[in-house]
Structure 1
Amino acid sequence: MRQPNLSDVALFAAVVEAGGFRAAAQKRGMSASSLSDCMRRLESDLGLRLLNRTTRSVTPTSAGARLLERLRPALEEISAAFNDLDDESQRPVGTLKLNVPVPVARHLMPGLLERFLKRYPGVNVEVVMDNSFIDVIGAGYDAGVRYEESLAKDMIAVPIGPRRQRFVAAASPAYLAAHGTPQHPSELTDHQLLGHRFENGKVGVFEFEKHGRTLRIPPRGQLVTSSHDLRIQSAINGLGIVYIFEEFLREALDDGRLVPILEDWWQPFDGPFLYYHGRRHMPSPLRAFIDFIKAEAQGEDG
């Protein structure tokens, strides 16, 4: 086995991350054919096939996957070392990859990222919406945002966004005129409740809380969906009662398309947290983002 070229090793990781030669080549500013040549040279130096190539995809072989697992920490350390140079000049550069749930992506990130990206023009941000709890490092993200999750000991959690939020129940004026306005959660069993199905297949319950008492009402309506938009619009259309993040309904509540119900039973909960790996060398875009959200939480503008 010949000593491999370290540039080829980094390119191998880029191909696997991008899922193909063309995408990786575009990110690296080189041709796909040149990148393919580098991979053949690396495989020749190692005497091992690292990639399975088909007309539709490029995936690592078992040997390639094992190699990448060992290489990734070292490559991250090298990248972090260069990013530290950017930190010294107070101009972080690079890409920040975030994995966030739908409510955060819709109602928190737009304003937050507008302010952050204007302050740090050298940083690019990639946001992927995902409601399930994941290993952000293993999935290739710099950080994630989640609600009230049990985080691993090597993860650090930082508050991001509002610290208290609520689930609210509402229905259209037409629905309430036709079916009556419930005065207690127990009366919801006689109503059309618009259900939400999670990624794991479970349907969420309507959970209300008052004076330390919690009532859970399984939705038994005509509609169950994984789409927040469909549930909200269905409520506006008079198909039933929706129970969802307050931010999702604010516009419809303000303009009267929906009417709040059971307000004294609405359940509050803690706001979201940014979580990330407590590694020694942190990429400069992530460090800048953490400092930014901490400053925002303290009401700083500098």
Structure 2
Amino acid sequence: MLEDLNHFVWVARAGGFREASRLNQTSASALSDAVRRLEAKLGVRLLHRSTRSVVPTEAGQRLLARLTPAFDEIRSSLDVINGFRDSPAGTLRLNVPVSAARLVLPAIVPRFLAAYPDIRLEIVADDSFVDVVSAGCDAGIRYDERLEQDMIAVPIGPRTQRFATAAAPFYLDGRGRPEHPRDLLGHACIQGRFSSGAMTTWEYEREGEVVRVEPGGPLVVSAGAATDLAVDAALSGTGVISLFEDWLRPHLDSGRLEAVLEPWWPRFTGPFLYYPGRRLVPAPLRAFLDFIKLDGSVPT
């Protein structure tokens, strides 16, 4: 029954069998069978199932509330064994935005895995704002304005970044080069839409003047998930794109894209790795924290 209880927690936290199977590398059918067995043994329904969602019943919510700290304690107890190993072992799950998976982690992951060969790293790229614990992850990466409460945050990656605006030179030859952010209102701009449905707003700053623009254009893509399509469209002359400078930098350096309004490009603080501060830190996460710390001191 213990394994079935664990599978129930996975499904309830993930909000569905398919997502739970993806996060835990177990088939959705096996998870479904486990929950059915558990419900039959307990004699009560634990999950409301529909074609669109899986939600705990009242009984399921109460069981989940009791099981979550219990399983966390079991995991922490087993993690004590790692102290007797020559090097930490286990699985580390990180929930990160697509931008971090593209721009931050490639410089870290290969070296980290080489340094800790007994650690298995799972990366979930997700631009929505999620509860990392409920999502079954050990830690997440987000920017400071989106950090969850009661979390410990550690800097990771570049500490300052910029949003760049650019377009293909031949597009600008035909449409003109903007001299002020408001000039973008007369251009074809490639826009992004968040998972919430909100459109991205383009923000600029120069000498204390802040300008926010809501441009229009022929292409709208899902922010994060379809960003490469937006970049390809900009390279093909579809319109103007606004994106992380590091994402566009290879194309700017090659000349396939031309910088637009560079004196107005806004700077912002780089991302943070964050994790719950209310429980023991698993050995794989401790190893990752030690690996990325910048100044020799990581909050604990």
Counterpart check, 1:203 vs 2:196: no
> Which residue of 83, 91, 98 corresponds with 2:94?
98
Counterpart check, 1:146 vs 2:145: no
The letter of the residue matching 1:267 is P
Match of 2:105 in 1: 109
State how 1:1-302 maps to structure 2 within 5 Å.
Answer: 8-17=1-10, 19=17, 40=37, 44=41, 46=42, 48=44, 50=46, 62-226=58-222, 227-294=226-293, 297-298=294-295
The letter of the residue matching 2:242 is Y
Q: Deviations over 1:111-164 (max 9, x none)?
A: 211111111111111111111222111221111111122534421111110000
RMSD: 3.3
Rounded to whole Å, the distance in 2 between the matches of 1:159 and 1:192 is: 36
**Any gaps of 5 or more consecutive residues in structure 2?**
12-16
The letter of the residue matching 1:269 is F
Rounded to whole Å, the distance in 2 between the matches of 1:23 and 1:239 is: 39
Aligned residues between the structures:
285
In structure 2, do the counterparts of structure 1 residues 138 and 36 end up closer, same or farther at CA, with 3 Å as the change threshold? closer
Q: Deviations over 1:168-201 (max 9, x none)?
A: 0111110111112122223222221211111111
Contact map agreement 2:45 2:57 (CA 8 A) in 1: yes
Match of 2:14 in 1: none
Rounded to whole Å, the distance in 2 between the matches of 1:200 and 1:38 is: 30
**Any gaps of 5 or more consecutive residues in structure 1?**
1-7
The letter of the residue matching 1:240 is G
Rounded to whole Å, the distance in 1 between the matches of 2:49 and 2:172 is: 59
In structure 2, do the counterparts of structure 1 residues 102 and 58 end up closer, same or farther at CA, with 3 Å as the change threshold? closer
TM-score (norm 2): 0.83
The letter of the residue matching 1:108 is V
Q: Percent identity?
A: 47
Rounded to whole Å, the distance in 1 between the matches of 2:133 and 2:34 is: 29
Rounded to whole Å, the distance in 2 between the matches of 1:154 and 1:148 is: 13
In structure 2, do the counterparts of structure 1 residues 178 and 150 end up closer, same or farther at CA, with 3 Å as the change threshold? closer
- Find the structure with the greater CA-based Rg: 1
TM-score (norm 1): 0.82
Rounded to whole Å, the distance in 2 between the matches of 1:143 and 1:239 is: 38
